[in-house]
Structure 1
Amino acid sequence: MLTLLFTTCKEVKNNEVANKVPASNKLAYKNPLNVKFGDPFILDNNDGTYYMYGTGGGTKDGFSSYSSTNLNDWEYNGQVYYGNTENSWNTANFWAPEVYKINNKYYLFFSADWKENPTNELENFKIGVAVADQPTGPFVDLTNKPLFDPGYPIIDANVFKDDDGHYYLYYSRACYKHPVESDIADWAKKEGLYDDIEESWVYGVKLQPDFKGVIGEPILLLRPPTSMDDKNAEWESRSVTSKEVNRRWTEGSFTFKHGDTYYIMYSANHFGGEHYAVGYATSKSPLGPYTKASNNPVLEKNTTKGGEVSGTGHNMVLFLKNPDKMLCVYHGRTKKTGENRVVFIDEMKILEDGTLTVEGPTTEAIKNPLSK
């Protein structure tokens, strides 16, 4: 998933590029990958092949995929899901696909606008599920309706299977029409910047075993700090304090378990801005309560330190066969790529005391994570 040093390139569909590297250079590569995806997600098919899905990348009304056997050279597979059809439940804004292999079936969880919109809401996002027999699709909607409707727009589905076999869905309530009282909202109003500050919050809920619905009511897990004295308030409020926009985000979550601790990683700030960054929280239960870490953010722009990367966020974690190897897969921007989001991959670690760290963003040559 990284652009290798001394690569040769070939053209692929949708004006994307898959990097090809001489065998003698397989151990050296560098970020970013030359694929214009946001919200990247990699599926390990457990047969030596990895599949990557993401938002955009030239795809219209749906999602495309790439495949690789070494996380370096990626082959474009074409569009794997088509939305906005006459019979589909969705119309636009196809975001944040995640694909899971379960009982030899492939399940695609994603966000999109729901056609059912009697009050003409500007943001009408819901989560859908599609299924296929192959990781390259074609994916067909499991039911021709959203997974569920909590009564507000939702995005960024993530699925976690616990040790007891139960599946959990994590998602973000969109900021739309969600003004929240807080210190930062009071400050912004006093400064004459914004009348209110809207927020997105991360929720969790148990999934039905057939993935056709949820069990019980969603539980609020994460939200931006209400007090500016909170250790995480400064970095999670940068989109507001920089006068970029009147919103604070908690989105793009990814949950996993390490030992007896549940980790949930999340992104804060505007996805289209330089301050997009990643933090994490921990719990002893999949549905919380979660406590945010004191070393957040664990992934952020390096432009203030002489680097060229900004807008780092919406990550997932790829677990390699080596139990000590965890990879943080995320999107970012560089001075060269401009507004285009491109994929990065950097190693991450959990220290003996449980502290999570990400060794990025990097743009220098590093060792292939699949090499021994």
Structure 2
Amino acid sequence: MIRIKQLVLLLLVALTISSCVNKAQKEDILVYSNPLPVQFGDPYVLLASDGLYYMYGTGGGAVDGFCVYSSPDMVNWKAEGQVFRGNVPGSWGVANFWAPEVYERNGKFYMLYSADWKENPTNELENFRIGVAVADKPTGPFKELSDKPLFDPGYPVIDGNLVDDGNGRTYMYFSRCCYKHPVESEIAEQARKEGKFNEIEESWIYGIEVKPDLTDVIGEPVLILRPPVKLDDTQSEWESRSVTTGEVNRRWTEGPYTLKKGDTYYMMYSANYFGGKNYAVGYATSKNPLGSFTKSSDNPVLQKNVEQGGIVTGTGHNSVTWSKDGKQMYCVYHGRTQETGDERVVFIDKMGIDDNGRLYVEGPTTTPQKK
């Protein structure tokens, strides 16, 4: 009888331990669905040294500046309010605050952002430049480093993005706007023949070295990426959809996000009209931070899925973040769905770089995802 009681007791203990383990495992599995309840364009996620994720973006209710959300797990997000405001006395930027990115460097947090420069003697309709603001915390308040932009190339620029080469040098990538930048190509010639557009303006990505303290640039901008010139270019079809569908007389190469793996630089970029359904993401690679870069034959790696029965369009201007153990990469981007209409909302999907150096994104998804 005693032995039977002991066996029963051991069985109860085992069942209790198994139940606790199963409960713990279930609690560790976080599930989310896209799109997230965040109305940002151009989302950027920073995993800070305090162990929290911080998401910055364009819009989201901010007035002349930017808001931020925080999260311990990239599933549950908390609105932290506005962390930067421009268009105040001493500001260089006065309107159209776009595409913030925040970097933790030497105990400080530096924000790169785009805005309309108040110095506009010729009354240009697009007068964007890139500036830097700094804060002691990721939740701000961020204050401008200077009363002028980081640099003035003589044409409107947006979408600043930084990468460190691992040897103490920092590089910035940015997009020259399409504004007053007509470019001849076989695509432009075809558009004229078809009666769609008389000219095609283009946005190009450039790179330039910057001082480590982000107070100035070093040297002159170097052209990194541009839309294809020839119709038979393998990238031409997907990068020209806004033109070939008659949507708009512009081709974009914008929203650069660059990461380094091993000795290779991976630059993700967005093409097509940012306000339309054809916005999509490709990538290019190089062994040097200022190129030359070669576009991947796998492009686009992220695009609309309505032709496959999905509901997502306008996927683009992405950033990349990692799990806290550094093992899983995530692509953070904005898009639209049939339910959200023209409002840009945030998506997060797993991504990676395989053993052959091929970058891929497992999206866009709208079904429940395990983090």
Partner of residue 301, structure 1: 304
1:90 and 1:366 map into 2 onto residues whose CA distance is: 39
Deviations 1:305-363 (Å, cap 9, x if unpaired)? 10000000000111224343111110000111111111111111111111111000001
2:305 and 2:85 map into 1 onto residues whose CA distance is: 37
Runs of 4+ in 1 over 6 A off after TM superposition: none
After TM superposition, the structure 1 = structure 2 runs for residues 104-143 of structure 1, keeping only pairs within 5 Å, are 104-143=107-146
SS in 1 for 2:96: coil
After TM superposition, the structure 1 = structure 2 runs for residues 269-280 of structure 1, keeping only pairs within 5 Å, are 269-280=272-283
One-letter identity of the residue aligned with 1:222: L
After TM superposition, the structure 1 = structure 2 runs for residues 285-324 of structure 1, keeping only pairs within 5 Å, are 285-324=288-327
Partner of residue 244, structure 2: 241
Give the CA deviation at 1:48. Answer: 1.8
1:58 corresponds, among 48, 56, 61, to 61
After TM superposition, the structure 1 = structure 2 runs for residues 226-237 of structure 1, keeping only pairs within 5 Å, are 226-237=229-240
Partner of residue 18, structure 1: none
Give the CA deviation at 1:190. Answer: 1.0
Deviations 1:226-285 (Å, cap 9, x if unpaired)? 001110000000000110000000000001111111100000000100000000000010
1:204 and 1:243 map into 2 onto residues whose CA distance is: 30
Partner of residue 156, structure 1: 159
SS in 2 for 1:120: coil
Partner of residue 18, structure 2: none
Give the CA deviation at 1:24. Answer: 4.6
Partner of residue 19, structure 2: none
Which of the two has greater helix per residue? Answer: 2
SS in 1 for 2:341: coil
2:227 corresponds, among 224, 227, 230, to 224
Partner of residue 188, structure 2: 185
Partner of residue 29, structure 1: 32
1:355 corresponds, among 329, 353, 358, to 358
Partner of residue 43, structure 1: 46
Partner of residue 102, structure 1: 105
2:28 and 2:276 map into 1 onto residues whose CA distance is: 34
SS in 1 for 2:93: coil
When normalised by structure 1's length, the TM-score is 0.91
1:178 and 1:260 map into 2 onto residues whose CA distance is: 34
1:179 and 1:250 map into 2 onto residues whose CA distance is: 14
SS in 2 for 1:339: coil
Extract unaligned runs of 5+ from structure 2: 1-25
Do the aligned residues in 1 keep the contact of 2:37 with 2:345 (CA within 8 Å)?
yes
1:356 and 1:43 map into 2 onto residues whose CA distance is: 20
SS in 1 for 2:188: helix
SS in 1 for 2:94: coil
2:120 and 2:318 map into 1 onto residues whose CA distance is: 30
2:78 and 2:325 map into 1 onto residues whose CA distance is: 24
2:295 and 2:358 map into 1 onto residues whose CA distance is: 11
One-letter identity of the residue aligned with 1:297: P
2:343 corresponds, among 324, 340, 344, to 340
Deviations 1:21-76 (Å, cap 9, x if unpaired)? xx858522111101100000011112221111000011110001010101111111
One-letter identity of the residue aligned with 1:361: P
One-letter identity of the residue aligned with 1:270: Y
Identity level (%) = 63
Partner of residue 171, structure 1: 174
Partner of residue 202, structure 2: 199
2:135 and 2:50 map into 1 onto residues whose CA distance is: 17
1:57 and 1:78 map into 2 onto residues whose CA distance is: 9
Pairs aligned (count):
346
1:208 corresponds, among 207, 211, 215, to 211
One-letter identity of the residue aligned with 2:77: W
Give the CA deviation at 1:193. Answer: 1.2
1:29 and 1:65 map into 2 onto residues whose CA distance is: 19
When normalised by structure 2's length, the TM-score is 0.92
SS in 2 for 1:282: strand
1:265 and 1:143 map into 2 onto residues whose CA distance is: 29
One-letter identity of the residue aligned with 2:274: F
TM-align CA RMSD = 1.1
2:73 and 2:323 map into 1 onto residues whose CA distance is: 12
